[in-house]
Amino acid sequence: MTTPRGIDRLLEIMAKLRDPEGGCPWDLEQNFATIAPYTIEEAYEVADAIERQDMASLRDELGDLLFQVVFHGRMAQEQDHFAFDDIAHACADKMVRRHPHVFGDAQIGDAAAQTVSWEAIKAAERSAKGETASGPVSALDGVTAALPALTRAAKIQGRAARVGFDWGSALPVRDKIAEEAEELRVEIASDAPAERIDEELGDLLFAITNLARKLDLDPEGSLRRATLKFERRFRAIEDRLQAQGLTAASQDLATLDALWDAIKAEEKARA
């Protein structure tokens, strides 16, 4: 007996789970909207496994993400919209279309030129589908509002940069961050309404995102790593206090700060 390919087996399992006769009640109750949050969560878990360089977890998380695609494909097939094979073929067609230098005769010199070409092809695709027919074509078209805020900010800034609306280097962006930080400080010091403070905080985050982009860094990844670092150090504080029969909640800020500084210094010494 021939063992079915992994993807064929997964598709068969999904069909069984959604079978009205004998399928899983939970799976049968789901729709695109209820599954969407799980799809987003699985994508983040893939990113987390990559961040931790955990290949075993990455394999499992990629499987979970693939299952989300299979789930959406099955629901679409049940409603006669499209099936999993249609998803795969559409993706393959898109990759061939967007890489004319690989699958055609186009000449592209480097990765930067490929990025420009990719965006131009995407813009043409959106225009062909009529996605911009309701109004003027914008360089910002196609950046979905569903992206995480930092990622979307960087993409919007990058789109504007492609038509020349950008800082010449990272240095003036650094000055802009200082300017925005001062405006935020003034609003806080003057006990301004929350809406004004929120606006200035947003401007500061937007400027910091711009600096990350100019330095070819992913702001989402930078913040994720900073959060992981904070978590690691804070857990180390808790461990040291627990070894003494104490808790973080029972200590004053000066004690916690001293432990933080000690742990930070030890990490730097080991680096």
Q: Is residue 138 part of a domain?
A: no
pTM given for the model: 0.69
pLDDT of residue 17: 98
Give me the number of domains the chain comprises. 2
Q: What is the pLDDT of residues 156-183, one digit of tens each?
A: 999 899 889 999 999 999 999 999 999 9
Q: Is residue 41 part of a domain?
A: yes
With b for 16 or more beta-carbon neighbours within 10 A and e for fewer, the 10-34 pattern comes to bbeebeebbeeeeeeeebeebeeee
Other Cβ atoms less than 10 A from the Cβ of 53: the count is 8
pLDDT of residue 135: 59
Q: What is the pLDDT of residues 12-68, one digit of tens each?
A: 999 999 999 999 999 999 999 999 999 999 998 998 899 889 999 999 999 999 999
* The domain boundary residue, chosen from 80, 98, 116: 98
Q: Is residue 227 part of a domain?
A: yes
* The domain boundary residue, chosen from 98, 127, 146: 98
Q: What is the pLDDT of residues 129-166, one digit of tens each?
A: 765 445 567 888 878 888 889 999 999 999 899 889 99
234 class by beta-carbon count within 10 Å (0-12 exposed, 13-18 middle, 19+ buried): middle
* The domain boundary residue, chosen from 37, 65, 98: 98
Q: Which structural domain range is residue 28 located in? A: 6-98
The kind and range of the H/E element at 124 are helix 111-128
Mean pLDDT of 190-207: 97
Q: Is residue 155 part of a domain?
A: no
